[in-house]
Chains A and B, each alone.
Chain A
Amino acid sequence: MKKITTIVLFVSLVGLGSTELASQCNPDNFASACIPKLASGFNFLKSYKVDGEGGAKDKVEYSYVFTKGTQYMINLCANGATTDGIVVSLFDSGRNKVATSKINGQFISAIAYPCNATGIYYIQYTFDGSTNKCGGSALGFKR
C-alpha cells in the first residue's frame, strides 16, 4: 500500500512540476518590457510573444502591412542583456529576406527599417543557440 501511495504522490508531483515548467516562459512580460525600449520618436504599434515552447517550435512568425515612406523599428527582449540567440528577420510577401538582426555573426537587439515598398511583410523569430527560446518583441513606427 505504501508503495502505491508513494508512486501516486510521485506521479502527481511530477505532473504539477511539468505544469510549472511549461509556464516558465512568460513571453508577455518580455513583450511588455520591449515597448519602452523602442527608440525615441517611434510610436508603439504591436507587441509580439516569442515562445519556442521549450524547443517544440523552431520559429515564430507574425505578419503586418508595412507602408512606403514609414520607418519601422522591431526590437527584441529576452533573458539577460543579449537577445539569448533570438533572431528577428523580415521577409516581403514574396518571401525575400529584407532584414535580419544577425549581422556578421553578431546578434543585434533592434532593427530599423525605412520601408520603401508597401506590402505584407512577415516578421519571423528564430532561435540560434538560444538557451530559453523565450522572449518578446515590439514594433513601432515613425514618419
Chain B
Amino acid sequence: MRIVLIGLVAAFLFASCGKSKKPEDQDFLNSLDSAKKGPSIDNEVINSILQQIPSPLEISVLLKESGKKYNAGILNSTDNTSKYNSNYKKALNLGIYGTDLGYTNIYQQNQDGIKYLASIKQLANELNIGQFFDIETISKLATNSKNLDSLLLITTQNFNDINKYLQTQGRANLSVLLLTGGWLEAMEITCQVAAQDPKNKELKEKIGEQKIILEQIVLLFSFYKDDENMASLLNDLNNLKAAFDKINITYTYKESTMEIVNGVAVIKDNSTTTIDVTDEDIKNITSITNSIRNKIAS
C-alpha cells in the first residue's frame, strides 16, 4: 500500500510540474511598475487585436524598394537609451528601437544595426525579457550582408516571442506599448520620408491607410484607461485619430479568382481600396506624429 501511495504522489508531482511558474517569471511580474490594474475585458480579445498590428518591417521594405535613401537622422538616437527610467518608457522605446533596427537591417547598415541591438538588449534586460534576444547570433549575422534573410527572420521571431510571452504572462499592456512604439516609429519614418517627396502618391496613401491600424491601437488603449501613462498617451493618440478621421477609405469588394501555379494557390484580388488623402491631412498627421513620438523618445 505504501508503494502505491508513493507512486501516486510521484505521479501527481510529475503531472503537475509542467504547470509550475518559473521563479524568473515571478520576478518579471514583480518588476512591472506600469498599469498594474488589468483590463476589465478578456485577454483573448486584447491578444486577438494585438496580433493584427502589421510588422513595421513592411514599411521599411517599401521605402527601400521605392528607391528612398537610408537616413539615420530620422531614427531615435541610441544615446537616449539611458533616459528611459520607467517600464512604460522602456516598453515604448523598445518598440521604437525595434523598428529602427528593422530599418537599418533592410538598408544593410550593419554598424548602426549593432548599436540598436545593444540598446534593445539593454531595454529588454531591464524589462526582464532579455532572454528572448540572442544578441551574439544576431550580431554575427549583422556583420555579413549575405545573412540579411536570416537576420530579419531571427529579429522578427525574437519580437514575436516577446509579445507571445508578455500575453501569456497576463501583461499584454507591455505588449501594447511595444507594438505602439514600433508603429509610431514606422509612422515617423514614413512621414519624414514623405515630407522630402511631397508628390509621392504611394507614400501619401501608405500614411492614409494607417488609419485602420490606429483605430485598432486606440481600441487597445481604451482598455487601459485606468493607467495614468496609458490614458495620457490615449489622449495624444485620439488627437492623431482626429486628423486621420478626415481621410476617407473606400473599399469595394469584387470576387477574387484563383489558379494553381507550381503547387501554390495564386489569388487574383479584384477588390480595391481608394484612399482620399490631401496634402493638408498629411501635414497635420506628420506634425502630430512627430510631437507624440518625440515626447516618448525624449
Contact = CB atoms under 8 A, between A and B. Distances in A.
Interface of A: 1, 5, 8-9, 12, 15-16, 19, 35, 39, 43-47, 62-70, 73, 90, 92-94, 96, 98-101, 103, 106, 108-120, 141-143
B62 A143 contact: yes
Contacts of A64: 51-52, 54
A109 B269 contact: no
Given A12-B8, A16-B11, 11 more contacts: A16-B15, A43-B61, A43-B156, A46-B51, A62-B51, A64-B52, A65-B54, A112-B265, A118-B209, A120-B216, A143-B61
A117 B11 CA distance: 55
B260 A119 contact: no
B273 to A, nearest CB: 4
Nearest to A66: B54
Interface of B: 1, 4, 7-8, 11-12, 14-15, 48, 51-55, 57-58, 61-62, 65, 149, 152-153, 156-157, 160, 202, 205-206, 209, 212-213, 216, 249, 251-253, 255-256, 258, 260-261, 263-273, 275
A116 B212 contact: no
Nearest to A48: B51
15 contacts: A8-B8, A15-B11, A15-B15, A43-B149, A45-B57, A64-B51, A68-B205, A68-B273, A98-B267, A99-B256, A103-B265, A111-B264, A114-B268, A117-B271, A143-B61
Contacts of B253: 92, 94, 96, 117
A19 B11 CA distance: 12
The 5 closest A-B pairs by CB, nearest first: A116-B269, A117-B273, A117-B271, A118-B209, A111-B265
Contacts of B15: 15-16, 19
B266 to A, nearest CB: 5
Contacts of A8: 4, 8
B206 to A, nearest CB: 8
A44 B156 contact: yes
Contact of B258 (A35, A47, A99, A141): A99
Contact of B4 (A5, A15, A68): A5
A69 B63 CA distance: 13
B3 to A, nearest CB: 10
A114 B265 CA distance: 11
A139 B216 CA distance: 20
A35 B153 CA distance: 9
Nearest to A109: B263
Nearest to A114: B269
A110 B263 contact: yes
B1 A1 contact: yes
B4 A98 contact: no
A99 B267 CA distance: 7
Contacts of B212: 65, 118-120
A69 B263 contact: no
B187 to A, nearest CB: 14
A49 B50 CA distance: 16
A70 B183 CA distance: 18
A43 B62 contact: no
Contacts of A67: 54, 58, 206, 209
Given A64-B51, A65-B213, A120-B52, A103 B263 contact: no
Given A43-B152, A92-B271, A98-B271, A9 B7 contact: yes
A69 B202 contact: yes
B267 A108 contact: no
A49 to B, nearest CB: 10
Contacts of B160: 46-47
B10 to A, nearest CB: 10
Nearest to A63: B52
Contacts of B264: 39, 73, 108, 110-112
